[in-house]
Amino acid sequence: MKKRNRHSAQVYIDGVLTGDRVILSQAITLVESALSSDQMLAEEVMSAVLPNTGKSVRIGITGVPGVGKSTFIERFGQLVLEQGLKLAVLAVDPSSQSSRGSILGDKTRMEVLSMDKRAYIRPSPSGTTLGGVSARTREAMLLCEAAGFDVIFIETVGVGQSEIAVKGMVDFFLLLMLAGAGDELQGIKKGIIEMCDALIINKADGENREAAKRAKREYANALHLFPARENSWLPQVLTCSGLEGDGLESIWEMIETYKNKMISNGFFEANRAEQRVRWMHDHIGYLLESSFYQNEVIERSIQEELLEIKSGNVSAIKKARELVQIFMNQIRPE
């Protein structure tokens, strides 16, 4: 793989800490790189900017396709800017599993925010990461914090079994839903409702207002059946219109209330402390997997056995164990 031109670590560090958007984008590209040389440089940059992170409010936003996430973020983001705050939006776009290419279209869908100097939108391909969260979204979030952004939105591809990845890196988790789309309570997995801090019925406008109100009542009743949370927060159900802007102020007030309550009961920092430990374990897994597949002996062995594995003549499970053993023998000290 051809080595890309890179700045020195100090150029990235100074640029990020002074809020230089060009350098910030380049720094995020650096942490997203799979090159080992880039990873070492990225670690140096991240270590240096880390003391300047942690001061933002991190909000995860997810929802089924068609729920209007981009429209919601566009209008809700404008409300955040009106509070005198700076906003960064990390929008994780779906990647093709064959070409590894991604759509990266959020800047075109958020025209107003993308033109505002107080906002920064960064689309990132999700790659092979389950659940629609980029493998390096955490680092991108920290870089944005170091660059002085007060609020970070993390928009995911959609709802799925790994939305816990979103919950595991934010302070507040918003789940957007639609009304009038069939049986409301069976249209989404129980586990995701258990994770969300607020459930927002979007597109509550026009002829859909009454349906949104009914959906709100149904979800609110259902949430009372869930066990009490460790942080003593009862997930809220609100309605809004991302298109018209109705109900957005109530959502922001709710997030402010949540933040103040979590800070006062000690859960805010305790939650972030647990997230840091989880991030370490996740990164260990990432490094081990990268080292494994970048190993020349492993890569050659996989290619040699590919046809046999595809045909079913070789046990995939047995072959996996053999490959791991080969890898372990290589890295084990004499």
| DSSP reduced 3-state for 265 | coil
Q: Are residues 6 and 67 in the same domain?
A: no
The boundaries of the domain holding residue 7 are 1-52
- Residues 67, 19 share a domain: no
Domain final residue pick, 234, 265, 296: 265
Same domain, 45 and 66: no
Give the CATH number of the domain where residue 107 resides.
3.40.50.300
Domain harbouring 30, CATH code: 1.20.5
Q: How many domains does the chain have?
A: 3
177 and 308 part of one domain = no
Residues 33 and 171 in one domain: no
Please choose, from the candidates 124, 113, 199, the residue with its C-alpha nearest in 3D space to the C-alpha of residue 155. Answer: 124
Distance of CA 137 to the CA centre of its chain: 6
Which of these three, 211, 243, 265, is where a domain ends? 265
Classify residue 284: in a domain, yes or no.
yes
Cα Rg for the chain, rounded, in angstroms?
22
Residue 79 lies in a domain: yes
Contact 129, 183 (CB under 8 A): no
Ordered alpha helix ranges (H), 103-247: 106-109, 111-115, 137-146, 164-167, 190-195, 209-223
* Range of weakest confidence among 5-9, 108-112, 198-202, 284-288: 108-112
Q: Are residues 39 and 130 in the same domain?
A: no
Q: Is position 274 within any domain?
A: no
- List residues bridging with 62 in a β-sheet: 175
Q: What are phi and psi of 87, to 5 degrees?
A: -125, 135
Residues 291-326: tens digit of each pLDDT: 899 899 999 999 988 888 899 888 899 999 999 999
pLDDT of residue 135: 62
> Do 201 and 250 share a structural domain?
yes
> Does 154 share its domain with 198?
yes
Same domain assignment for residues 253 and 206 = yes
Q: Confirm whether 196 is domain-assigned.
A: yes
Residues 84 and 149 in one domain: yes
- Average pLDDT (242-270) is 96
Domain boundary among 265, 298, 313: 265
Residue 273 lies in a domain: no
pLDDT range class, residue 184, cuts 50, 70, 90: very low
> Does some domain include residue 213?
yes
Around 289, how many Cα atoms within 13 Å sit in the side-chain half-sphere?
Answer: 10
Which residue in 133, 172, 136 sits closest to 152, CA to CA? 172
Assigned domain for 271 exists: no
Clarify whether residues 88 and 228 are in a common domain.
yes
Inter-residue contact 24 to 16 (CB < 8 Å): yes
Q: Are residues 153 and 9 in the same domain?
A: no
- Highest-confidence range of 159-173, 219-233, 261-275, 283-297, by mean pLDDT? 261-275
Q: Is residue 36 part of a domain?
A: yes
Q: Could you tell me which residues come within 8 angstroms of residue 123 by beta carbon, excluding any fewer than 6 positions away?
A: 91, 92, 93, 102, 104, 105, 106, 107
pLDDT in tens, 192-224: 777 889 999 999 999 889 999 998 988 888 887
Q: Which residue has the tokens 């980029």?
A: 134
Average per-residue pLDDT for the chain: 85
Residue 242 confidence (pLDDT) above 80: yes
Residue 285, helix vs strand vs coil: helix
